[in-house]
Amino acid sequence: MITLTLEAVLGVMLAVVIMQFFKKHPQPVTASAPVEDLANLKPQDARVGDAISISGAGDKMEDLDFTVDRTTWITAGSRQWVEIAGPYGERRVALRVGGDEEVEVSVHNDPRKVTLEDLGVSEDDLAQMDERQNTADSFEFDGKTWLYVISREVQAKRSDRPQADGFYYWEFRQQDGAGILGIRKEQSEPFTVTLFTGIQPGDVTVYRGRAS
């Protein structure tokens, strides 16, 4: 009786061992990276190699189309934005994307090379605004009033340079409008003026490029 019981127990154990031997072990589950929705890329998703199309922003009110060849991340204290640039015709254009709570998008497409003299502002005027740091300061240009926002040293990291660059920067905002006027002064370089026109984020279409 004991022998039969022992044989039965050994038989059951052997069956369990055989089942475990042939049982397929589950493969470890690896987390897959999120799939990018290429059909709904936002302005802030743009990078070098992408194609940008901005509805109605071209010279003759056609779409403004360009390929991104450079991005520049700019930090001014707690404020940050990115300028996404590329060639358009015989000049360069740029898309600026920033904003703290909501995404703010604007485009630089003005063919004019605006100078401080064109603005009616001198280097001394800028130095005094910088000293006052008063948001009530303003000047008139192009039939608009431009209100002082900030002036300070900023850091800019370009996609085509290994190190960040620094320059001094003044920013003005159009009164009762969405325009941005930026003035930059790099060491040993003249002042440069850049005009941005505010646009709706939905007016920008981003096509992912192969080179990115």
According to the model, what pLDDT value does residue 145 have?
Answer: 98
**Within-domain flag for 59:** yes
Q: State how far the Cα of 113 lies from the Cα of 133, in Å rounded to an integer.
A: 27
**Within-domain flag for 14:** no
| Residue carrying the six token digits 């009616």 | 120
According to the model, what pLDDT value does residue 6 have?
Answer: 40
Burial 31-63, CB ≥16 within 10 A → b, else e:
eeeeeeeeeebebbebbbebebebeebbeeeee
| Residue carrying the six token digits 């990276």 | 33
**Within-domain flag for 8:** no
Cβ atoms within 10 Å, residue 112: 9
Torsion, Cα 123 130 119 187, to 10 degrees, reads: 50
**Within-domain flag for 212:** no
Non-local (6+) Cβ contacts of 96 within 8 A are: 81, 82, 83, 84, 105, 106, 107, 108, 180, 196
Non-local (6+) Cβ contacts of 36 within 8 A are: 208
∠ CA 86-147-83, rounded to 5°: 15
| Number of separate domains in the chain | 1
∠ CA 3-4-7, rounded to 5°: 85
Question: Which DSSP helix (H) or strand (E) runs through 118?
Answer: helix 116-119
**Within-domain flag for 19:** no
Non-local (6+) Cβ contacts of 16 within 8 A are: none
Both structure tokens of 10 = 């050994």
Q: State how far the Cα of 130 lies from the Cα of 197, in Å rounded to an integer.
A: 24
User: Residue 84 belongs to what domain range?
Assistant: 41-207
**Within-domain flag for 27:** no
Amino acid at 108: H
Both structure tokens of 174 = 């159009």
Question: Which DSSP helix (H) or strand (E) runs through 91?
Answer: strand 91-98
Q: Which residues of the chain have pLDDT under 70?
A: 1-35, 211-212
Question: Which DSSP helix (H) or strand (E) runs through 20?
Answer: helix 2-22
Both structure tokens of 208 = 């992912």
Strand, helix or coil at 98?
Answer: strand
**Within-domain flag for 26:** no
**Within-domain flag for 77:** yes
